[in-house]
């Protein structure tokens, strides 16, 4: 087998495209055949393990039987074994254990098999190719390209995958992974930026929030840009000079895209869609979205047109719980929701994702807690004939108002972002005012604005984004939103306090949706 | 030499243009192909300009064309470099290429200035340029760039992971060396050395090598057809050499000879004659050159692909594997074919290889097989990871492929798209990759073999079908012959064409030949022929119909049969004949008659049983009031009442007695009365019975004849009941004869036959109409007028005889009298079950006693009280068991008259209670019952030896019983 590096060297782009992005050409029949084959192979592989026996007392002989016999699971079902990294319970000794965030400050350990890691790596390379492509078959990544990584370090999955991917691509990581292996996330971001000024950047793989923050800092800071000794480096000087010329030519302030001409920008986080235009404005490149879960790898990713996401057939077996079934289950825990497969989903419908990992990984009919929306059954523009998905929300992050409107993190975030107000961070939770449910948004601003005006603006945006919320206002006359501005520095103080307390990276910030009373007390009192 | 001097640039141009067309046709959108095409255009232009320069009439013209060589040379060098870095994916600084093109542009501008080319000079072979200073720069520039190109190629060669890719690079590299060397031959003459210019030849060599790279190593992914064309072109080029030689001779040496033109034509004629041979020779040379040591195997494979036959099918697979392994120099070749039952592909033949063929199989669900079914192309193992559909390949599949070190996987597809097999090839022995020719050979051969395999499969399937058909035929034949029904097959004209053995035997023939050729209708009895023929013709029109008719045997005897028929049609629906199924139903008909008789009897028995139950119930209900009527009317008769009233009362009494008699007979009929069986002599019973009626018979002119079997054995029977049966039959005969003709003759006969005693009564009366025969033994069936008979006589006889295990039946013809037969089994068992008989009570006057009467029937109570009181007894009456128990506790009774049927606790239960509590009292109990024949009552009386009296009872009977009880 030729390595990626060899393939690049031998120059067979068509082969590269087929290998890493060929899933986009699959028909739904081929997709389902692959899913079935991989699931049955996976069952054969893991059936005898104690963990599998816990959920599969009998060995299913077909997909239908599997769906009938195996119950839905959540991480709580695996926690007693995986939390303690009990490898004896697994079918295959894992290649590594990855760390992923859990709600309420808990952490989740996920064993990753070698085969799964290989698939995850391939998906990551496919992601890089597609992120940098503008049309089908185009491969713009090269050996030696410089990749700015603003991702959580190992043992987070992104931190484990990054060095492998960099090696496979023959790329150069910024900042160098070995040198900054023990640096904090902040230090790595700062160091990456510093190095990027000198070496340049071809490709960025980052949390969206970080890219937005860097963009804001650079654009806000450009008018007051002062020379310092670092700028004396000829490469930095030339870069700044070129950037200045570019910005002046377009008669605007400096933006990151003036410094670096990116080939690809991969962004992680549900706010990617919200800040899509801002990211394009700052970085000159349409952000590429992926739907990744540590428990299964890459579930779906965008194509070269960077619109909705196409599911991958070889990461996990996908089932979907329709919104109505999900709601019935939410009302009545005893209701066993019915699932549909990818060839049964309907456009415009939202579904909770249920996955069964492949390649010897341990998760069976695992409720990830994510809701996706099927926006179309195909992408005619790019000729993809598989259902197109967008990430909608997490099931736990939904605020239900009077059973009429369900607001998720993405909707509220979009409503806040659309106001154009500069803010530090926010969180929202369901509260009661005079026995009536409301969404209470706590927001820390970086500019002065009357709270009433802000509330009106967010309320208006919510009504525009969410029709049900609009109906709530128009027909029921309910006031569904309350906004409170919390003191400047609240989030930073919370962050500092958590960092000092040694909290995990994923739990340094308060959750956006439904933070507990304790978190709110901690956030506001500080 | 002048000819060659002029022609070589045109050859270069031709080669270059041809290659350019091939490259652009392959993929005009590829920038790499476009760059190479540009370079080829440069070469072609170079060729044209050289030709123009060389063909120039003077130095000025030559100078005009020569001045463009400097920029053309530079541009070609840059284009080659550009193509190379693009082809090898090497990166250069972004400014490098623009700079190089800029230099070319500069040279282009300088070309007409004279700085590059001062003038032209004439040498022995043609024109030679006098170089200017820029020319030296151009030479340096072009050489430097070419060297850089070679460096890039060397680096790429080192890093290339694919051996085929390395080969392509090597060909380009060698081609460039040719160009470089040729260039030296061009430059040195310019510097004064007398050398023939060689760049043109070098460029031609480059084109030739590039062609080889395209043909052999798929340079620039040129399609097979293109490469084939190129191969033919090369053959043609070789063939063209003698033509060129002749042409050159014609234009130079021969033109001056006297018979030059004739010589030229002669040579051309000779050439035309030998061209086919030369063509074949050249083609073979090229093939040998391409295939090297594998040439022999290739030829064998070609032969094999076109000549195998079904007879060779057994060796086909292994021979093919061996030949393929030899032709392709493969370490291993494995042929996998699907198993008919599971669909799994198993290795059935292999050549070379380390792994045992039996270990190699692919599951029918395999992702690889699924994919191979949808492709016609060879799948190099390395491409598996490039195909998304194969990402779901299971580890076991990969293990199979890894186990045989698979290098190529070849689906064997038929024209219809079926996948009858899969070829897996291990790596080449040399370690080199499989070339396109190898793959091409595989595709061609595997398609041929796939078609053959498919034909084999079809052949095998046909064979299996034929075998199955034969087996089926044999099975059908066995079934045809083993059927109990006769089967006759006829042609559309109803002429017999085939019959089975049962049909032959059924019709009394000894062989089928006797029947074949006869008309089906000839087998039908004359009386039924018309009807049956019509029915058969209708049946084949309307569908299967069962026809009953008489058929004929060979000796013209008839037998009843059932006939069914069906139509035989061919594929077009036309009638080809008929099938007749015949069944001899003689036995069945007889059985049918017997069955009907049994059914009739069962029906009668069932009705009798029902009527019997009803009769028992009625009898009980009637007996109670009847006791009052009989008793009180008797009492009245004994009273001193007026004579006329007494006569009326006597009528009432007689009537009541008659009713009591009917009720008693009803009970007998209902078989509630168990026969008291003793060994009896039937003859004796008959004599006694006949004696009873002797007077009456004589009085009515009826003669009695007897034919008694003197040796008649005794049998176990109830003499009284048999007497009743016989009397009934005699009375019936007597009545019928009397009614018919006022006299008659009755023959009574006994005989023994097969363990039975048959007694028959034959009269010469009017006989019994057929319609009445079936109903003779039905209860209440009578032909007499109302009041003349109850219709129970024969039913009772039937019940008694059946109870004795015998049978009774009649035979009669209307107007010829009737015979009634009674058949009884001969039973030699000495013991007979005991039956309770009413014990005769002696009539005597008893002393005054206290008596308790327990009966719920007021009329019976009153009657008893009256009689007992008249006899001087003190009588207490109660109508239920609990009151009786109370009375018994408080009084001392001498006698208890107890009715068996009481509301609530029955009389039997009360008796048992008394027996349990005061056993001595049971001796004082006299049971009265209207249902002495009931099973429960019989059991009770038998078990307790109780004294009883049966309703309706009269005064005397009661008094006798009471006297005995009280005595």
Contacts of B91 in chain A (CB under 8 A): 142, 144
Contacts of A38 in chain B (CB under 8 A): 392
Residue of B956 and A172 predicted with greater confidence: A172
Contact A2, B164 (CB under 8 A): no
3-state secondary structure of A273: coil
Q: How far is B395 from chain A (nearest CA, A)?
A: 8
> What distance in Å separates the CA atoms of residue B121 and residue B128, rounded to the nearest whole number?
5
Residue among B272, B176, B170 nearest B217 (CA) = B170
Contact B793, B729 (CB under 8 A): no
Q: How far is B82 from chain A (nearest CA, A)?
A: 15
Across the A/B interface, how many CB contacts are shorter than 8 Å? 71
Q: Is A276 exposed, middle or buried (0-12, 13-18, 19+ CB in 10 A)?
A: middle
> What distance in Å separates the CA atoms of residue B750 and residue B707, rounded to the nearest whole number?
6
Given a cut of 50, whether residue A41 has pLDDT beyond it is: yes
CA dihedral of residues A63, A64, A69, A75 (deg, nearest 10): 50
Q: In a mutagenesis test of the B interface, which of A3, A8, A11 is the best target, namely the one with the most B β-carbons within 10 Å?
A: A11
Residue in chain B closest to A21 (alpha carbons) equals B388
> What's the full length of chain A, in residues?
526
Give the pLDDT of residue B832. 40
Contacts of B161 in chain A (CB under 8 A): 2-3, 6, 9-10
Residue A148 tokens, joined = 């700015």
> What distance in Å separates the CA atoms of residue B626 and residue B859, rounded to the nearest whole number?
9
Q: How far is B342 from chain A (nearest CA, A)?
A: 16
Of A2, A18, A41, the CB nearest to B382: A2
Q: Residue A395: CB partners within 8 Å, gap ≥ 6?
A: A326, A352, A367, A369, A370, A371
Contact B935, B672 (CB under 8 A): yes
Q: In what order do the strands lie in the sheet with B547-552?
A: B496-499, B486-490, B575-584, B558-569, B547-552
Give the pLDDT of residue B842. 43
> What distance in Å separates the CA atoms of residue B233 and residue B34, rounded to the nearest whole number?
22
Question: In chain A, what are the domain boundaries?
Answer: 13-91+108-116+290-396, 398-524
Neighbours of B509 (CB within 10 A): 16
Residue in chain A closest to B371 (alpha carbons) equals A30
What is the pLDDT confidence band of residue A226, given thresholds at 50, 70 and 90? low
Inter-chain touch A11–B388, beta carbons under 8 Å: no
> What distance in Å separates the CA atoms of residue B473 and residue A473, rounded to the nearest whole number?
84
3-state secondary structure of A242: helix
Inter-chain touch A41–B385, beta carbons under 8 Å: no
Q: How far is A9 from chain B (nearest CA, A)?
A: 6
What is the pLDDT confidence band of residue A289, given thresholds at 50, 70 and 90? very high
Q: Is A26 on the interface with B (CB under 8 A)?
A: yes
Exposure string of B44-57, with b = 16+ CB inside 10 Å and e = fewer, is bbbbbbbbbbbbbe
Q: Residue A409: CB partners within 8 Å, gap ≥ 6?
A: A270, A393, A394, A397, A428, A512, A513
Least confident of A41-55, A121-135, B178-192, B572-586: B178-192
Residue among A501, A502, A494 nearest A518 (CA) = A494
Of A1, A2, A30, the CB nearest to B389: A30
Inter-chain touch A8–B89, beta carbons under 8 Å: yes
Inter-chain touch B392–A38, beta carbons under 8 Å: yes
Inter-chain touch B386–A18, beta carbons under 8 Å: yes
Give the pLDDT of residue B835. 37
> What distance in Å separates the CA atoms of residue B568 and residue B547, rounded to the nearest whole number?
19
- Whether the upstream peptide bond of residue B521 has omega within 30° of 0, thus cis, is no
Inter-chain touch A8–B386, beta carbons under 8 Å: no
Give the pLDDT of residue B839. 43
Q: Is A38 on the interface with B (CB under 8 A)?
A: yes
Of B87, B88, B394, the CB nearest to A41: B394
Residue of A191 and B609 predicted with greater confidence: A191
Inter-chain touch B388–A142, beta carbons under 8 Å: no
What is the pLDDT confidence band of residue A117, given thresholds at 50, 70 and 90? very high
What mean pLDDT do residues A227-246 have? 81
Contacts of A35 in chain B (CB under 8 A): 392
Residue in chain A closest to B381 (alpha carbons) equals A1
Q: How far is B384 from chain A (nearest CA, A)?
A: 9
Q: How far is B19 from chain A (nearest CA, A)?
A: 22
Inter-chain touch B391–A34, beta carbons under 8 Å: yes
Residue of B389 and A222 predicted with greater confidence: B389
Contact A51, A366 (CB under 8 A): no
Q: In a mutagenesis test of the A interface, which of B94, B363, B383, B388 is the best target, namely the one with the most A β-carbons within 10 Å?
A: B388
CA dihedral of residues B72, B78, B81, B82 (deg, nearest 10): -120
ipTM above 0.90, yes or no: no
Neighbours of B511 (CB within 10 A): 10
Q: How far is A291 from chain B (nearest CA, A)?
A: 19
Contacts of A9 in chain B (CB under 8 A): 88-89, 156, 159-161
Residue in chain B closest to A144 (alpha carbons) equals B91
Give the pLDDT of residue B1. 46
Contact A146, A200 (CB under 8 A): yes
Give the pLDDT of residue A124. 92
Q: In a mutagenesis test of the A interface, which of B368, B389, B393, B407 is the best target, namely the one with the most A β-carbons within 10 Å?
A: B389
Strands (E), B91-185: 117-122, 127-131
Residue among B231, B239, B238 nearest B213 (CA) = B231
A398-524 homologous superfamily: ANL, C-terminal domain (3.30.300.30)
3-state secondary structure of B673: coil
Inter-chain touch A22–B387, beta carbons under 8 Å: yes
> What distance in Å separates the CA atoms of residue B58 and residue B765, rounded to the nearest whole number?
160
Strands (E), B141-235: none
Interface of B with A (CB under 8 A): 87-89, 91, 156, 159-162, 165, 365, 367, 370, 382-383, 385-389, 391-392, 394-395
- Whether the upstream peptide bond of residue B304 has omega within 30° of 0, thus cis, is no
Residue A46 tokens, joined = 């893991």
Q: How far is B369 from chain A (nearest CA, A)?
A: 12
Inter-chain touch B367–A34, beta carbons under 8 Å: yes
Q: How far is B419 from chain A (nearest CA, A)?
A: 19
Residue B567's alpha-carbon distances to A277, A350, B352, B571, B950, in angstroms, are 82, 64, 61, 13, 75
Residue among B963, B964, B958 nearest B846 (CA) = B963
Inter-chain touch B160–A41, beta carbons under 8 Å: no
Inter-chain touch A3–B392, beta carbons under 8 Å: no
Given a cut of 80, whether residue A175 has pLDDT beyond it is: yes
Residue among A120, A100, A122, A87 nearest A17 (CA) = A122
Contact B4, B50 (CB under 8 A): no
Of B87, B382, B394, the CB nearest to A1: B382
> Which A-chain residues 302-361 have CB contacts (< 8 A) with chain B?
313-314
Residue among A434, A445, A369 nearest A408 (CA) = A369
DSSP for B38-102 reads: HHHHHHHHHHHHHHHHHT-SSHHHHHHHHTTHHHHHHHHHHHHHHHHHHHHT----TTHHHHHHH
Give the pLDDT of residue B224. 47
Q: Which regions of chain B are under pLDDT 50?
A: 1, 223-225, 310, 672, 830-844
Contacts of B387 in chain A (CB under 8 A): 18-19, 22
Pairing of strands B744-753, B715-717: unpaired
Residue in chain A closest to B85 (alpha carbons) equals A11
Give the pLDDT of residue B838. 43
């Amino acid at each position: 087998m030729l390595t990626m590096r060899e393939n690049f060297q031998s120059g067979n782009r068509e082969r590269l495209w087929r290998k890493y992005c060929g899933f986009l050409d699959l028909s739904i029949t081929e997709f389902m055949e692959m899913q079935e084959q991989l699931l049955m192979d996976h069952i054969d592989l893991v059936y005898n393990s104690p963990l599998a026996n816990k959920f599969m007392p009998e060995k299913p002989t077909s997909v239908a039987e599997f769906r009938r016999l195996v119950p839905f699971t959540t991480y709580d079902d695996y926690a007693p074994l995986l939390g303690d990294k009990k490898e004896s319970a697994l079918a295959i000794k894992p290649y590594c254990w990855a760390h992923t965030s859990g709600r309420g400050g808990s952490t989740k350990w996920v064993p990753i098999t070698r085969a799964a890691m290989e698939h995850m790596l391939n998906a990551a390379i496919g992601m890089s190719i597609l992120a940098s492509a503008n049309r089908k078959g185009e491969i713009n990544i090269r050996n030696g390209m410089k990749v700015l990584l603003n991702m959580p370090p190992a043992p987070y999955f992104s931190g484990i995958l990054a060095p492998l991917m960099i090696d496979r691509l023959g790329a150069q990581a910024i900042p160098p992974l070995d040198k900054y292996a023990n640096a904090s996330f902040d230090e790595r971001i700062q160091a990456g930026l510093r190095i990027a000024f000198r070496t340049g950047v071809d490709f960025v793989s980052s949390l969206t929030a970080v890219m937005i923050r860097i963009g804001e800092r650079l654009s806000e800071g450009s008018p007051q840009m002062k020379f310092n000794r670092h700028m004396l480096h000829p490469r930095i000087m030339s870069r700044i000079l070129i950037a200045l010329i570019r910005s002046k030519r377009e008669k605007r302030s400096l933006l990151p895209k003036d410094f670096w001409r990116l080939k690809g920008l991969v962004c992680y986080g549900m706010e990617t869609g919200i800040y899509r235009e801002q990211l394009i404005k700052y970085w000159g490149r349409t952000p590429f979205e992926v739907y990744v879960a540590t428990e299964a790898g890459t579930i779906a990713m965008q194509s070269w047109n960077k619109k909705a996401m196409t599911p991958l057939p070889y990461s996990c077996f996908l089932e979907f719980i329709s919104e109505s079934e999900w709601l019935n289950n939410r009302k009545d825990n005893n209701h066993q929701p019915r699932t549909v497969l990818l060839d049964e989903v309907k456009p415009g419908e939202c579904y909770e994702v249920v996955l069964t990992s492949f390649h010897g990984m341990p998760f069976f009919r695992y409720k990830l807690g994510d809701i996706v929306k099927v926006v179309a059954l195909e992408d005619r523009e790019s000729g993809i004939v598989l259902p197109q998905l967008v990430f909608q929300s997490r099931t736990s992050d939904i605020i239900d108002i009077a059973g009429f409107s369900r607001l998720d993190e993405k909707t509220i975030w979009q409503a806040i972002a659309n106001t154009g107000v500069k803010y530090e961070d926010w969180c929202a939770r369901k509260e009661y005012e005079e026995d009536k449910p409301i969404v209470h948004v706590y927001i820390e601003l970086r500019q002065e604005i009357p709270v009433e005006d802000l509330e009106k603006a967010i309320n208006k945006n919510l009504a525009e984004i969410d029709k049900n919320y609009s109906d709530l206002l128009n027909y029921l006359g309910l006031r569904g939103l309350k906004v409170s501005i919390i003191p400047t520095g609240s989030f930073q103080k919370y962050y500092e306090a958590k960092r000092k307390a040694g909290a995990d990276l994923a739990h340094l910030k308060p959750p956006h949706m439904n933070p507990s009373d304790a978190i709110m007390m901690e956030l506001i009192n500080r | 030499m002048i000819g060659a001097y002029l022609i070589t640039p045109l050859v270069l141009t031709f080669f270059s243009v041809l290659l350019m067309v091939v490259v652009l046709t392959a993929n005009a959108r590829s920038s790499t192909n476009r760059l190479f095409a540009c370079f080829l255009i440069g070469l072609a232009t170079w060729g044209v300009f050289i030709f123009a320069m060389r063909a120039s009439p003077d130095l000025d013209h030559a100078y005009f064309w020569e001045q463009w060589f400097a920029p053309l040379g530079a541009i070609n060098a840059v284009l080659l470099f550009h193509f190379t870095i693009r082809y090898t994916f090497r990166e250069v600084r972004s400014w490098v290429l623009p700079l190089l093109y800029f230099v070319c542009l500069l040279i282009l501008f300088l070309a007409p200035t004279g700085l590059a080319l001062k003038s032209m000079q004439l040498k022995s072979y043609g024109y030679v340029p006098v170089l200017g200073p820029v020319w030296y720069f151009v030479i340096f520039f072009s050489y430097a760039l070419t060297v850089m190109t070679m460096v890039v190629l060397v680096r790429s060669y080192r890093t290339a992971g694919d051996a085929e890719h390395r080969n392509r690079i090597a060909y380009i590299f060698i081609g460039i060396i040719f160009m470089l060397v040729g260039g030296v031959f061009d430059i040195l003459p310019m510097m004064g050395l007398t050398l023939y210019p060689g760049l043109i030849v070098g460029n031609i060599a480059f084109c030739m090598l590039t062609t080889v790279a395209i043909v052999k190593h798929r340079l620039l992914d040129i399609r097979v057809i293109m490469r084939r064309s190129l191969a033919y072109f090369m053959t043609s080029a070789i063939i063209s050499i003698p033509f060129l030689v002749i042409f050159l001779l014609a234009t130079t040496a021969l033109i001056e000879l006297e018979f030059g033109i004739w010589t030229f034509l002669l040579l051309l004629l000779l050439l035309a004659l030998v061209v086919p041979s030369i063509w074949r020779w050249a083609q073979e040379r090229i093939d040998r050159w391409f295939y090297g040591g594998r040439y022999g195997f290739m030829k064998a494979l070609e032969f094999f692909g076109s000549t195998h036959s079904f007879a060779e099918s057994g060796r086909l697979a292994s021979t093919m594997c061996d030949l393929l392994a030899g032709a392709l120099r493969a370490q291993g070749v494995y042929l996998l074919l699907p198993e008919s039952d599971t669909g799994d592909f198993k290795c059935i033949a292999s050549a070379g290889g380390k792994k045992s063929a039996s270990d190699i199989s692919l599951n029918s669900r395999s992702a690889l097989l699924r994919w191979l079914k949808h492709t016609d192309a060879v799948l190099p193992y390395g491409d598996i990871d490039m195909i998304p559909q194969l990402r779901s390949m299971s580890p076991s599949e990969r293990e199979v492929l890894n186990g045989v070190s698979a290098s190529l996987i070849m689906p064997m597809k038929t024209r219809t798209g079926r996948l009858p097999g899969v070829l897996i090839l291990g790596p080449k022995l040399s370690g080199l990759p499989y070339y396109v020719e190898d793959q091409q050979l595989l595709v061609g051969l595997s398609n041929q073999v796939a078609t053959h395999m498919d034909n084999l499969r079809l052949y095998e399937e046909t064979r299996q079908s034929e075998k199955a058909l034969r087996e089926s035929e044999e099975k059908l034949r066995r079934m045809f012959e083993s059927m109990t029904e006769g089967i006759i097959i006829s042609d559309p004209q109803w002429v017999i064409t085939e019959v089975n053995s049962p049909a032959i035997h059924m019709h009394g023939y000894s062989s089928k030949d006797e029947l074949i050729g006869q008309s089906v209708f000839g087998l039908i009895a004359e009386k039924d022929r018309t009807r049956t023929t019509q029915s058969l013709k209708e049946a084949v029109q309307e569908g299967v119909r069962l026809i009953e008719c008489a058929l004929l045997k060979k000796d013209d005897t008839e037998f009843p049969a059932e006939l069914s028929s069906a139509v035989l049609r061919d594929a077009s629906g036309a009638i080809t004949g008929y099938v007749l199924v015949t069944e001899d139903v003689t036995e069945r008909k007889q059985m049918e008659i017997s069955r009907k008789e049994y059914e009739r009897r069962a029906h009668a028995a069932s009705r009798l049983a029902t009527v019997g139950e009803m009769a028992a119930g009625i009898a009980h209900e009637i007996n109670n009031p009847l006791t009052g009527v009989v008793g009180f009317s008797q009492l009245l008769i004994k009273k001193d009442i007026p004579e006329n009233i007494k006569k009326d009362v006597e009528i009432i009494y007689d009537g009541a007695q008659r009713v009591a008699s009917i009720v008693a007979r009803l009970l007998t009929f209902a078989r509630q009365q168990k026969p008291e069986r003793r060994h009896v002599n039937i003859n004796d019973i008959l004599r006694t019975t006949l004696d009873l009626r002797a007077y009456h018979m004589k009085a009515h002119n009826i003669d009695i004849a007897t034919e008694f079997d003197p040796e008649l054995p005794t049998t176990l029977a109830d003499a009284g009941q048999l007497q009743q049966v016989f009397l009934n039959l005699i009375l019936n005969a007597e009545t019928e004869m009397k009614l018919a003709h006022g006299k008659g003759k009755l023959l009574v006969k006994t005989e023994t036959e097969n363990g039975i005693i048959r007694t028959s009564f034959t009269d010469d009366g009017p006989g019994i109409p057929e319609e009445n025969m079936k109903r003779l033994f039905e209860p209440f069936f009578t032909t007499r007028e109302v009041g003349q008979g109850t219709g129970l006589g024969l039913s009772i006889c039937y019940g008694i005889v059946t109870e004795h295990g015998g049978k009774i039946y009649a035979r009669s013809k209307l107007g010829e009298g009737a015979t009634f037969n009674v058949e009884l089994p001969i039973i030699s068992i000495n013991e007979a079950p005991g039956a309770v008989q009413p014990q005769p009570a002696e009539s005597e006057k008893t002393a005054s006693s206290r008596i308790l009467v327990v009966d719920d029937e007021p009329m019976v109570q009153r009657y008893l009280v009256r009689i007992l009181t008249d006899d001087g007894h003190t009588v207490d009456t109660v109508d239920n068991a609990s009151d009786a128990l109370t009375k018994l506790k408080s009084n001392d009774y001498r006698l208890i008259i107890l009715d068996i049927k009481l509301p609530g606790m029955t009389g039997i239960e009360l008796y048992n209670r008394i027996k349990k509590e005061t056993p001595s009292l049971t001796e004082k109990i006299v049971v009265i019952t209207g249902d002495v024949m009931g099973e429960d009552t019989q059991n009770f009386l038998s078990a307790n030896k109780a004294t009883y009296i049966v309703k309706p009872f009269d005064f005397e009977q009661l008094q006798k019983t009471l006297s005995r009880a009280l005595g």
